[in-house]
Every structure is written in C-alpha cells, then in structure tokens.
Amino acid sequence: MLEGYDLFEYFDGTNVCPPNYVITLEGGVTKELTTAYKDWVKIDNALLSLLIATLGDEAIEYVVGSKIAHEACTYLTNRYATVSTAKLNHLKTKLHTIRKSTYSLEKYFLRLKHLKDQLLTVEETISNNDFIMEDLAGLPPEYNIIRIVFVTREFSITLKEFRAQLLSTKKKAEETPLSGQLPMSSMYCSGESSEAGANRQYFSKESSYSSI
C-alpha cells in the first residue's frame, strides 16, 4: 500500500525533508516555515504513527524517541533484518529434524512450509524437491510406499501436487482395511511394471489439486 501511494520513500529515506524556512532574495533566511516542509512533516508524522500502531511491545522499544519514519524504520531494520548464522542454522536444524509425530498430516505440512518461508525471508532458498525430501523423511512407516514413489520419480512436481497426493494417500489408507492393502510389488505389475507406471498411478493428469 505504501509503495502504491509513493509513501514508502519516507521509510527508506529517499524522500528527504525539504528546507525548513522560506528564503527570500531581500532578507535571506526568514522565520517563516515553507509549505513543502509543513506538508512533509504532516505526512511523515502520520506514517510514523501508523508504523508504531502496528508494532508489538518488544518492537516498540526500538523506535522510542524516533522523530521521523525513516529513523524508526532504520532502528527496526538494524534489529530484525540482520541475519545471524545462529538463526539460520537453527531454522535449518528444525527443518531437518521435524517429524510428523502426533500432528495431523495437514498441520505437519504447514509447519514445514512455515519453516521454508522463514528461511526464504533470510534469503535461504529451499527448492521444492529438497522440501519434499525433508517432508518425506519425517513421515511414519505407513507412508513408505508413497515415499519410495516420490524418491524414485524422474519428473518434477509442485508443492500443491505433493500435498494433494499425501492427503489422498492418507484418505485411501483410512478407507482401506489393512488386510486389503496392496504390497509394494503390486504397483509394478498388471501393466505398471516400470517406475513410470508407478508414478502415473500417483500423478494422473486428470487429478485435481486443491490450493495450499
């Protein structure tokens, strides 16, 4: 919103405060405030108030005493935008060690995606394939079949497709009695003897996927 109305420049410092006082040829610097200065101060004060209104108790402590929006923004940037090696390693460790455990499949996936998004904010990109491998590593043994299919696939899939397939597999497992489940070898027979056949079983072009 701020960028759309050309107001973010008050925060990043590109829109600097104009001269305070009117300068005349006859008398030089006067005590009269310029219209541009008064307008700039009015807008900047409003933006500073808007910024402060969005902050929590901890963050407010870092902007106390700020007189302009750019000053407050600088304080916040210095406090929160600096990426420490410790923070980066902490996020990576959480991503590598998280397990489904008692979480629902949906919540487990969202927790992983949240970690992926947090890493992205500190400019650490996790590819979709790496994300999928991390997700599969934390699943319990009942997902071994689909784990093998994903690991051995030779084509890329989106996270939306991956999520849809996991949920579909869970639903089928719940609807099918344990004694009626097909062994892994059955995925490679009856016309599905190749890896591509197993993959087609899970990734049909006609499948519809819900959004994340």
- 91-125: per-residue pLDDT in tens? 899 999 999 988 888 899 999 999 998 888 777 88
Please tell me whether residues 112 and 33 are part of one structural domain.
Answer: no
Please tell me whether residues 198 and 100 are part of one structural domain.
Answer: yes
Evaluate if pTM is beyond 0.75: no
Looking at the domain assignment, is residue 209 inside a domain? no
Digit-coded pLDDT (tens) for 135-150: 999 998 888 887 888 8
pLDDT at 82: 67
Place 49 in a pLDDT band, splitting at 50, 70 and 90: very high
Q: Which residue has the higher pLDDT, 204 or 57?
A: 57
Looking at the domain assignment, is residue 208 inside a domain? no
- Give percent of the chain with pLDDT exceeding 70: 81
Looking at the domain assignment, is residue 211 inside a domain? no
| Average pLDDT of the segment spanning 27-55 | 92
- pLDDT at position 157 over 50: yes
Q: How many structural domains comprise the chain?
A: 2
Please tell me whether residues 117 and 66 are part of one structural domain.
Answer: no
CB 72 within 8 A of CB 32: no
What Å distances lie between residue 179 and 68, 175, 176, 186, 198, CA to CA? 70, 12, 8, 14, 21
Q: Give the dihedral sign, CA 197/203/205/206.
A: positive
Helices (H), 81-183: 85-97, 105-121, 128-137, 144-152, 159-175
Please tell me whether residues 41 and 67 are part of one structural domain.
Answer: yes
Looking at the domain assignment, is residue 108 inside a domain? yes
| Average pLDDT of the segment spanning 127-139 | 91
Region for residue 65 given its phi and psi (left: phi exceeds 0; alpha: psi -120 to 50; beta: otherwise):
left
Looking at the domain assignment, is residue 4 inside a domain? no
Looking at the domain assignment, is residue 64 inside a domain? yes
Q: Domain range holding 197?
A: 85-202
Cβ partners under 8 Å of residue 27, min gap 6: none
| Residue-level length of the chain | 212
Please tell me whether residues 100 and 182 are part of one structural domain.
Answer: yes
Read off the DSSP letter of residue 168: H
CB 147 within 8 A of CB 136: yes
Question: What is the rounded distance in angstroms from the CA atom of residue 79 to the CA atom of residue 72?
Answer: 11
Please tell me whether residues 103 and 73 are part of one structural domain.
Answer: no
Domain boundary among 80, 98, 127: 80
Please tell me whether residues 173 and 93 are part of one structural domain.
Answer: yes
